[in-house]
Amino acid sequence: MELPDVVLMAASIVGFIALCKPLVGLVKWVWAMFLRPPKNLKEYGSWALVTGSTDGIGKAMAFELASKGLSLVLVGRNPSKLKAVSNEIRERHGEQVEVKSIVIDFAKFSGEEIAAFIKEGIEGTDVGVLINNVGLAYPYARFFHEVDLELMGSVMRVNIEGATWVTRSVLPGMLEKKKGAIINICSGSVLLPSYPLVTLYVAAKAYMAMLSKSINLEYQQYGIDVQCQFPLFVATKMIFTKRSSFFVPSPETFSKASIRWFGYEHVCVPYWPHCVQWCLLRLLPNALWDWCILRHFLGVRKRGLVNAYKKNGVNQKNPRVVCIPPLNQLHLN
């Protein structure tokens, strides 16, 4: 065989391998998204604990888990909402599902107090699945120096300390029986090169992503599956809309997709249109992303400030009625 023929054959083999790699990836993605059977979650334990369970994804997740036959420990800060969700689940599933409630506001308690509440609430229950879903974001976008101290503390306690201490409280029981699943609902914003004017929120979610990946390595040898999910926009109060669409699913639609991934990959984007959306968005250069995101949130901030003035009955003639800087002192353009 002559040298040109050898070179041509080698180039063909390399080209074939390069072509096969994305095709194999596509086949694996289709299998995971649409064909792979979900795990039997009751094998982890008969109870699931869900934080942030009175609204949005957490509430939808609670109903979805109940439909799989799991009893529930619902964690939330509003007792009336917790009671309403608990009653609705009992009405729908009858005696097949038990429901307990833990009333706690993560923004107002220390880590040790949170751990004590959770430990007391799950005593005597076989918690096999933990859903860390609770989250707190800004009322509207703002520069880092504009975040007041109370909001700063609340965002950090809810998004970082709350999930950390709940996880710490549930882990011993999972270690004892050598099985369990911990699902941390993170945010697609963590996947972006930057997320300005919502800095504390996305930084807290980045902490959760690293926590998930790290404790997964620590505990997978003990039969505990730790997974971090990255939803993009879901129609909840967090994004100030209840109108769902193809790329912005309802909490119920997202939860059905989410549960199919429990116990498999340790990092995932579970809703397939979000995954397609993310793959397309990754083609954009980081510099363009940074420019677009900053301009978008500057607009969000401007609208938020105007609405804050209107809500508090402030006009530009007498802007110091409330503790919001006057509009003419803010960079709104």
Is residue 93 scored above 50 in pLDDT?
yes
Choose among 281, 268, 274, 238: nearest CA to 253. 274
Residue 49 is predicted with a pLDDT of 98
Across residues 190-201, what is the average pLDDT? 95
Residue 255 is predicted with a pLDDT of 97
Residue in 201, 219, 271, 309 annotated catalytic = 201
Among residues of the chain, what percentage have pLDDT more than 70? 88
Is residue 333 scored above 60 in pLDDT?
no
Provide the angle, in degrees to the nearest 10, between the axes of the packed helices 199-219 and 149-156: 20
Residue 325 is predicted with a pLDDT of 46
Across residues 237-253, what is the average pLDDT? 87
Is residue 316 scored above 50 in pLDDT?
no
Query: CA-to-CA distance for 67 and 69, rounded, in angstroms?
Result: 5
Asked if 133 and 51 touch (Cβ cutoff 8 Å), the reply is yes
Query: CA-to-CA distance for 260 and 275, rounded, in angstroms?
Result: 15
Query: CA-to-CA distance for 244 and 272, rounded, in angstroms?
Result: 15
Is residue 7 scored above 70 in pLDDT?
no
Across residues 283-312, what is the average pLDDT? 92
Query: CA-to-CA distance for 98 and 221, rounded, in angstroms?
Result: 31
Q: How confident is the model at residue 308 (pLDDT cuts 50, 70, 90)?
A: confident
Residue 277 is predicted with a pLDDT of 93
Across residues 118-130, what is the average pLDDT? 96
Across residues 184-208, what is the average pLDDT? 96
Q: How confident is the model at residue 309 (pLDDT cuts 50, 70, 90)?
A: confident
The full DSSP string for 79-119 is: HHHHHHHHHHHHHHHGGGS-EEEEE--GGGS-HHHHHHHHH
| Residue 256: count of CB within 10 angstroms of its CB | 18
What are the tokens at 328? Answer: 């003419």
Identify the weakest region by mean pLDDT among 5-19, 105-119, 159-173, 314-328.
Answer: 314-328
Q: What pLDDT digit, counting tens, does each position of 134-158 carry?
A: 999 999 999 999 999 999 999 999 9
Choose among 284, 139, 282, 277: nearest CA to 197. 139
Identify the weakest region by mean pLDDT among 16-30, 182-196, 218-232.
Answer: 16-30
Query: CA-to-CA distance for 42 and 179, rounded, in angstroms?
Result: 11
Is residue 11 scored above 70 in pLDDT?
no
- Catalytic (active site) residue 222: no
| Residue 10: count of CB within 10 angstroms of its CB | 10
Q: How confident is the model at residue 16 (pLDDT cuts 50, 70, 90)?
A: low
Cα-trace Rg, the chain: 23
Query: CA-to-CA distance for 55 and 27, rounded, in angstroms?
Result: 35
Residue 5 is predicted with a pLDDT of 61
| Residue 158: count of CB within 10 angstroms of its CB | 23
Angle, CA of 285, 291 and 292, to the nearest 5°: 90
One-letter amino acid for residue 227 of the chain: Q
Across residues 195-201, what is the average pLDDT? 96
| Residue 176: count of CB within 10 angstroms of its CB | 10
Is residue 123 scored above 80 in pLDDT?
yes
Query: CA-to-CA distance for 299 and 333, rounded, in angstroms?
Result: 8
Residue 117 is predicted with a pLDDT of 94
Q: How confident is the model at residue 319 (pLDDT cuts 50, 70, 90)?
A: very low
H-helix segments, the chain: 3-30, 56-67, 79-93, 111-121, 149-156, 163-177, 199-219, 251-259, 272-281, 286-311
Among residues of the chain, what percentage have pLDDT more than 90? 80
- Report which of residues 1 and 80 the model is more confident about: 80
Is residue 232 scored above 90 in pLDDT?
yes
What are the tokens at 229? Answer: 């999910």
What are the tokens at 63? Answer: 């109903």
Query: CA-to-CA distance for 326 and 9, rounded, in angstroms?
Result: 71
Strands 224-229, 47-51: pairing is unpaired
Identify the weakest region by mean pLDDT among 3-12, 158-167, 254-263.
Answer: 3-12
Core vs surface per residue 199-216: b (16+ CB within 10 A) or e: bbbbbbbbbbbebbeebb
Average of per-residue pLDDT values in the chain: 90
Length of the chain: 333
The full DSSP string for 7-52 is: HHHHHHHHHHHHHHHHHHHHHHHHIIIIISPPP-GGGT-SEEEEES
Q: What is the pTM (predicted TM-score) of this model?
A: 0.88
What are the tokens at 265? Answer: 């990959």
One-letter amino acid for residue 265 of the chain: E
